[in-house]
A and B are shown apart, each in its own frame.
Chain A
């Protein structure tokens, strides 16, 4: 109704703004700058990646021919299942821990803010600082934390309390979990921020009503907090899944992907394939797989998304 009214005004006045006004009524005009930007900076190179994945291009040789060999080689590759499994464990464990920890931290922070407890902002700053530390520095710090030599921080603590030292990085089964811990340390802040923002906007009247009805804290959490947080939990899950899936700058200084291939996640494998092995086409195939996994994440997300968007 209101749009009619506006349109009427403009037509009546017949102002010189008329043409501009017509353009401004088209949503595409508003969306065009962003769309163009993304097309030329992102979509175009992404299409190029897909093209390279159907070639035998290497960084060493400027000439290349079109072929599907890279895909075939990858399907046959004995390494891929292992790398996908490592990636799966790394991503799922990181995401679950970041969500749970992020939610817990957000809830205690929210409680602190509501009760005006002193010191809350200090806690928040500490978590955020972990997020801002450059990846390489985080890798180095955690390497010194996990180091199994006598100066390794965690083992020194364990020794102090009389527990035998742990092979944080040299045990192939444990190394991946050490990488997860370091990643969770760095990534929880973002998750916490999003969830905290979600908590703040839940109307307190909901909780008050529930209290009056005698609902326990656990029930309140289950029937009010979680459903209210649902959309933000979803977007959060998608975003941190993508961040984690593409992480390699932390693992590179921490383990380099070792021992053996124990911590070589897909992103690191892609990076290694292109930059160590100079194999552009195989790297492109891996990049396409990264893309496909991301798309699957998006589709799942769309499925779970509330309709009213």
Chain B
């Protein structure tokens, strides 16, 4: 056994060496698209999943074809890649710092909720010349708003979005919970049978805030006003915040959700619980459908169903929509154009099909073959209630404070009122400074 292992290991190493040698002639490598001899160089920093260096072998293989045709269509250009690490907040801070110094890469995939930061700081190039009014009008309204600066120009192309849904094991929970109450009851019932009733993000990371905000938005709450000033801690919005917090606190206190949700800061944990069969429901991202499909035996996967996130009442629903954009940081017109070509030829459409992020243009959603199945039809309906995070520079701090609040509330260290007021004061202090 050991010998077999060792020889396989050695063989792998040798193959790698050979592959590295052959790579010199390829048009697509993990960090370059186009011929290494091409005279023009575009530097691009990307989330690895959206690059030729995808950690998923399957997506990498299909994506390679897209990159290949891009390289063939632009023989005079080579795209050199840099990658984002997993700590997205610090990656964007570093990017901003580099943009300030004029050292940002030419073209970058920017997380949609951080885009405002870059638009406001004037480090992006307008892209109006590269997209027709028709295409822009075709975007879902919240997408269009997200990429439009205060001067009316568009500063990025938001090509893919995602949304949060309720996953449930239909064998344990037969009926779709439509309201918070129904969800809690169903989860409690499931918990009595010995599994975890419902799981959600509750640890210190962006997902915790984002997934939970749907419950605030469903009541019609707003984090900031039209000028970007935080308003979530006052008046009606404060009440709505508290109600949404009580909902999550109730899930944990009643035992409908296990205490460990306060540590969950990774959607993978839900996959894990689903695969292990140890949880009845979870609030997750729409993409997890495919991950579960890949990792579970068919008959186990068949038990799982996806539905819209429950609201305070069946009529009040919302779901958080995120996703990624591509923006041009370079001021060289030729490079801006090539960056726009990437948006159009690689991301708008092809990347949606490879990665499974939802198209942001209504017509593409209706046309692209991948998105014509019952699962995506369902998502299309949910997308109507989609809400994006406010594109304001204070949002990261609001999110940070909500994460802390959630941890304090879920672990029982603080009552929701006290925790929320603390968060509110800190956000306002930071806001005044901005």
* Chain A residues with a Cβ under 8 A of chain B: 56, 58-62, 73, 78-79, 147-151, 167, 169-172, 175, 252, 255-262, 271-272, 274-279
| Interface residue? B396 (CB, 8 A) | yes
Closest to A144 in B: B272
Residue of B93, B96, B408, B422 near A259 (CB, 8 A) is B408
Q: A170-B263, A255-B203, A271-B90 are in contact. Are A149 and B396 (CB under 8 A)?
A: no
In the complex, A272→B89 CA distance in Å? Answer: 9
Cβ-defined contact, A276 with B400, below 8 A: yes
In the complex, A151→B271 CA distance in Å? Answer: 12
Q: A60-B434, A149-B260, A258-B203 are in contact. Are A278 and B411 (CB under 8 A)?
A: no
Residue of A61, A172, A279 near B430 (CB, 8 A) is A279
Closest to B92 in A: A275
In the complex, A149→B21 CA distance in Å? Answer: 44
Shortest Cβ gap from A251 to chain B (Å): 10
Which residues of B have CB within 8 Å of A56? Answer: 433
Closest to A146 in B: B263
Q: A62-B100, A276-B400 are in contact. Are A260 and B413 (CB under 8 A)?
A: yes
Interface residues of chain B: helix, strand, loop or mixed (majority):
helix
Residue of A150, A259, A276, A277 near B263 (CB, 8 A) is A259
Provide 29 A-B residue pairs closer than 8 Å at the C-beta atoms, listed in order of the A residue: A58-B433, A58-B434, A59-B93, A60-B121, A62-B100, A79-B426, A148-B258, A148-B259, A148-B260, A149-B276, A151-B272, A169-B262, A170-B259, A256-B265, A258-B263, A258-B265, A259-B204, A259-B413, A260-B404, A260-B405, A260-B414, A261-B408, A271-B90, A276-B90, A276-B93, A277-B396, A278-B93, A278-B393, A278-B396
Closest to A60 in B: B393
B side interface size, CB within 8 A:
46
Residue of A58, A167, A255, A262 near B260 (CB, 8 A) is A167
Which residues of A have CB within 8 Å of B117? Answer: 60
Closest to B414 in A: A260
Cβ-defined contact, A276 with B397, below 8 A: yes
Residue interface bits B193-230, CB-to-A below 8 A is 1, else 0: 00000000011110000000000000000000000000
In the complex, A278→B94 CA distance in Å? Answer: 10
Cβ-defined contact, A170 with B411, below 8 A: yes
Cβ-defined contact, A258 with B96, below 8 A: no
In the complex, A275→B262 CA distance in Å? Answer: 23
Which residues of A have CB within 8 Å of B265? Answer: 256, 258
Closest to B409 in A: A260
Closest to B91 in A: A275
In the complex, A267→B147 CA distance in Å? Answer: 35
| A-B contacts besides A259-B407, A275-B93, 11 pairs, CB < 8 Å | A60-B393, A79-B426, A147-B260, A256-B203, A258-B204, A258-B403, A262-B411, A277-B396, A277-B397, A277-B400, A278-B396
Closest to A249 in B: B87
* Chain B residues with a Cβ under 8 A of chain A: 87, 89-90, 93-94, 96-97, 100, 117, 120-121, 202-205, 258-263, 265, 269, 272-273, 276, 278, 393, 396-397, 400, 403-405, 407-408, 410-411, 413-414, 422, 426, 429-430, 433-434
Q: A148-B258, A170-B411, A276-B89 are in contact. Are A261 and B404 (CB under 8 A)?
A: yes
Q: A60-B393, A172-B411, A252-B87 are in contact. Are A259 and B262 (CB under 8 A)?
A: yes
In the complex, A276→B205 CA distance in Å? Answer: 11
In the complex, A61→B434 CA distance in Å? Answer: 8
Shortest Cβ gap from A67 to chain B (Å): 11
Cβ-defined contact, A260 with B411, below 8 A: yes
Shortest Cβ gap from A59 to chain B (Å): 6
Which residues of A have CB within 8 Å of B403? Answer: 256, 258
Shortest Cβ gap from A262 to chain B (Å): 7
Closest to B260 in A: A148
Residue of B262, B408, B411, B429 near A73 (CB, 8 A) is B429
Cβ-defined contact, B260 with A274, below 8 A: no
Closest to B202 in A: A259
Cβ-defined contact, A255 with B204, below 8 A: yes
Which residues of B have CB within 8 Å of A279? Answer: 430, 433
Cβ-defined contact, B411 with A259, below 8 A: yes
Q: A272-B400, A275-B93, A279-B433 are in contact. Are A150 and B407 (CB under 8 A)?
A: no
Shortest Cβ gap from B191 to chain A (Å): 14
Cβ-defined contact, A260 with B429, below 8 A: no
In the complex, A56→B414 CA distance in Å? Answer: 31
In the complex, A147→B100 CA distance in Å? Answer: 40
Which residues of A have CB within 8 Å of B93? Answer: 59, 274-276, 278
Cβ-defined contact, A258 with B272, below 8 A: no
In the complex, A149→B205 CA distance in Å? Answer: 19
Shortest Cβ gap from B300 to chain A (Å): 15
Q: A78-B422, A172-B411, A277-B400 are in contact. Are A256 and B204 (CB under 8 A)?
A: yes
Which residues of B have CB within 8 Å of A61? Answer: 434
